[in-house]
Amino acid sequence: MPEDNTHLPKPHLLRGKRIAIVGGGPAGLTLARLLQMNNVRVHVFERDVEAHARLQGGSLDLHEKSGQLALDRCGLTRHFSTVARPEGQATCVIDKHGVRRAALAVDDEEESTPEIDRGALRDLLLSSLDEGTVIWGSPPCAILPEANRHRLVFERRQAELFDLVIGADGLRSKVRPLITPIKPFYSGVTFIETRLSNVDDRHPEIARFVAMSQRR
What is the pLDDT, as a whole number, of residue 51? 93
pLDDT tens digits, one per residue of 49-86: 999 998 887 788 898 999 999 999 999 999 999 998 87
pLDDT digits (tens, 9 = 90+) for 138-160: 999 999 999 999 999 999 899 99
| Residue 1 in domain | no
CATH assignment of the domain containing 56: 3.50.50.60
In a domain, 11, yes or no: no
How does residue 21 score in pLDDT terms, banded at 50, 70 and 90?
very high
Which H or E run contains 93? strand 91-94
pLDDT, residue 211, reads: 60
Any domain includes 118: yes
For residues 6 and 18, give the distance between their C-alpha atoms in angstroms, rounded to a whole number: 10
Residue 53 lies in a domain: yes
CB atoms within 10 A of CB 83: 14
pTM of this prediction?
Answer: 0.85
Look at residue 3 and tell me if it is in a domain: no
Does the structure show a pLDDT above 80 at 134?
yes
Residue 132, domain extent: 19-213
pLDDT in tens, 165-191: 999 999 889 999 999 999 999 999 998
Using pLDDT thresholds of 50, 70 and 90, give the confidence band for residue 216. very low
Domain count, the chain: 1
Which amino acid is residue 113, in one-letter code?
T
Residue 9 lies in a domain: no
Q: Is residue 6 part of a domain?
A: no
CA distance 17 to 14: 5
